[in-house]
């Protein structure tokens, strides 16, 4: 298959799955303008949080009810957001995507009205957020938000998107290093950002920071990648492999049920979001032994080397935001 830009591939993938409601009109695309926006199961804050989308992320607009919009994220997940979207036609989105971007590389940061950290803050920012690059001033980038706001962010908190993608290395060592950055972050149901993570949110964010878009849920992620273990033979595993946990198939219940996912880090240890992001072990002699999860381990899948196979979307070269 001919290689497309990452954004164009996302556009085509999303277009195939859902058709916008007439209420959306011509502007059936959008870009998120809050640092983190929660996706809900319904059009109210009281409904369940099912996922999150980050600043600068493109979404397909499917429906509108009052101040709420039903959207589809690049991973195909669908939910409602509280209108934190700059709506666009497809041609407007293409023009927006042609603009140079910066990506936030600090776990948590702020943008400012002036090139001065003592000036008024414009918003908070989390790792993975993306903004339009408008220029530089001293040790700051001048940036633009999808909704038209302008601000300054410290260059130490961000990186030009092209450079970020060029320097990216999808290796077992890098996956483990990035995952460890989130140690201690609280477990939050539906969380996929630095502000809080559920189990598949952690695996999804770690791989997103390596230019890879995974499926949203553990039950979806287990259907992707290369099978490397189905019987607890951990000698076949490599750091960065995804580990899946749940209910094993039995004669009474022949269908296996996946409810949890972790990242293997070597030496029979894994990192996962459970209460907070922490490390567990399969080894009973290890002080970090996790008897509960060791007892419900199901299988492992390898993502590294399997990018651009079913359910694992790669971001090629420096074309992430090029139509």
pLDDT tens, 51-84? Answer: 999 999 999 999 999 999 999 998 899 999 998 9
For 265-301, the DSSP string reads EETTEEEEEESEEEEEES-TTSTTB-HHHHHTEEEEE
CA nearest to 153, candidates 177, 179, 134: 134
Instruction: Compute the average pLDDT of residues 10-14.
Output: 42
Q: 160 CB contacts (<8 Å, ≥6 apart)? A: 100, 101, 102, 133
Residue 80 lies in a domain: yes
Four-CA torsion 89, 74, 157, 141, nearest 10 degrees: -20
- CB of 155 closer than 8 Å to CB of 143: no
Beta bridge partners of 157: none
Say whether both 186 and 264 belong to one domain.
yes
Four-CA torsion 174, 180, 185, 188, nearest 10 degrees: 50
Residue 167 lies in a domain: no
User: Rounded to an integer, what distance in angstroms lies between the CA atom of residue 72 and that of residue 58?
Assistant: 9
Say whether both 207 and 278 belong to one domain.
yes
CATH code of the domain containing 86: 2.30.30.40
Work out the mean pLDDT of the chain and round it to a whole number: 90
Structural domain for 184, as ranges: 172-302
- Helix (H/G/I), strand (E/B), else coil: 24: helix
- CB of 36 closer than 8 Å to CB of 193: yes
- CB of 295 closer than 8 Å to CB of 246: no
CA nearest to 255, candidates 294, 301, 219: 219
CA nearest to 275, candidates 287, 299, 258, 292: 292
Model confidence band, residue 4 (pLDDT cutoffs 50, 70, 90) = very low
Domain count, the chain: 3
User: Rounded to an integer, what distance in angstroms lies between the CA atom of residue 190 and that of residue 174?
Assistant: 25
Residue 132 lies in a domain: yes
pLDDT digits (tens, 9 = 90+) for 172-221: 999 999 999 999 999 999 999 999 999 999 999 999 999 999 999 999 99
Say whether both 266 and 177 belong to one domain.
yes
Assess whether pLDDT exceeds 50 at residue 316.
Answer: no
Which of 97, 121, 152 is the C-terminal boundary of a domain? 97
Instruction: Compute the average pLDDT of residues 8-25.
Output: 50
Sign of CA dihedral 73, 78, 82, 85: positive
**What percent of the chain has a predicted confidence (pLDDT) above 70?**
90
Assess whether pLDDT exceeds 90 at residue 37.
Answer: yes
Say whether both 210 and 137 belong to one domain.
no
pTM across the whole model? 0.90
For 193-232, the DSSP string reads ETTEE-HHHHHHHHHHTTTEE--SSHHHHTTSSEEEESSS
Say whether both 187 and 298 belong to one domain.
yes
CA nearest to 35, candidates 58, 59, 52, 14: 52
Between residues 6 and 214, the one the model is more confident about = 214
Instruction: Compute the average pLDDT of residues 21-40.
Output: 87
- CB of 319 closer than 8 Å to CB of 5: yes
Say whether both 39 and 149 belong to one domain.
no
Which of 73, 97, 121 is the C-terminal boundary of a domain? 97
Residue 135, burial from CB neighbour count under 10 angstroms (0-12, 13-18, 19+): exposed
Which of 97, 132, 150 is the C-terminal boundary of a domain? 97
pLDDT digits (tens, 9 = 90+) for 138-180: 999 999 999 999 999 999 999 999 999 889 899 999 999 999 9
Residue 317 lies in a domain: no
Please calculate the CA angle 247-296-181 and round it to the nearest 5 degrees. 120
Residue 309 lies in a domain: no
Per-residue tokens: 176: 């483990």
Q: What is the pLDDT of residue 22?
A: 58
CA nearest to 263, candidates 253, 255, 273: 273
């Amino acid at each position: 298959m001919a290689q497309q830009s990452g954004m164009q591939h996302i556009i085509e993938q999303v277009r195939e799955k859902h058709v916008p409601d007439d209420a959306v009109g011509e502007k059936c695309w959008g870009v998120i303008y809050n640092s983190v926006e929660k996706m809900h199961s319904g059009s109210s804050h009281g409904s369940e949080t099912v996922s999150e989308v980050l600043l600068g992320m493109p979404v397909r607009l499917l429906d509108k009810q009052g101040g709420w919009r039903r959207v589809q994220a690049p991973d195909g997940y669908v939910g409602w957001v509280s209108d934190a979207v700059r709506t666009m036609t497809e041609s407007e989105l293409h023009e927006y995507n042609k603009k140079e971007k910066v990506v936030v590389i600090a776990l948590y940061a702020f943008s400012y009205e002036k090139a001065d950290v003592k000036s008024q803050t414009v918003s908070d920012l989390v790792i993975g957020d993306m903004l339009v690059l408008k220029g530089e001033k001293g040790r700051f980038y001048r940036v633009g938000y999808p909704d038209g706001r302008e601000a300054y962010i410290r260059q130490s908190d961000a990186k030009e998107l092209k450079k970020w993608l060029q320097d990216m290395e999808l290796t077992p060592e890098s996956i483990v290093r990035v995952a460890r950055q989130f140690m201690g972050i609280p477990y939050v149901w539906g969380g996929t950002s630095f502000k809080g993570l559920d189990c598949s949110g952690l695996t999804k964010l770690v791989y997103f920071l390596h230019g890879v878009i995974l499926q949203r849920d553990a039950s979806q992620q287990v259907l992707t990648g290369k099978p490397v273990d189905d019987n607890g033979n951990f000698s076949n595993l490599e750091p960065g492999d995804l580990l899946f946990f749940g209910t094993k198939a039995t004669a009474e219940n022949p269908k296996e049920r996946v409810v949890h996912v972790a990242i293997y880090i070597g030496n029979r240890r894994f990192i996962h979001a459970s209460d907070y992001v922490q490390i567990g072990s399969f080894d009973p002699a290890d002080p970090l032994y996790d008897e509960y999860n060791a007892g419900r381990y199901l299988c492992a899948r390898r993502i590294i080397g399997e990018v651009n196979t079913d359910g694992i979307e790669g971001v090629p070269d420096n074309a992430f935001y090029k139509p």
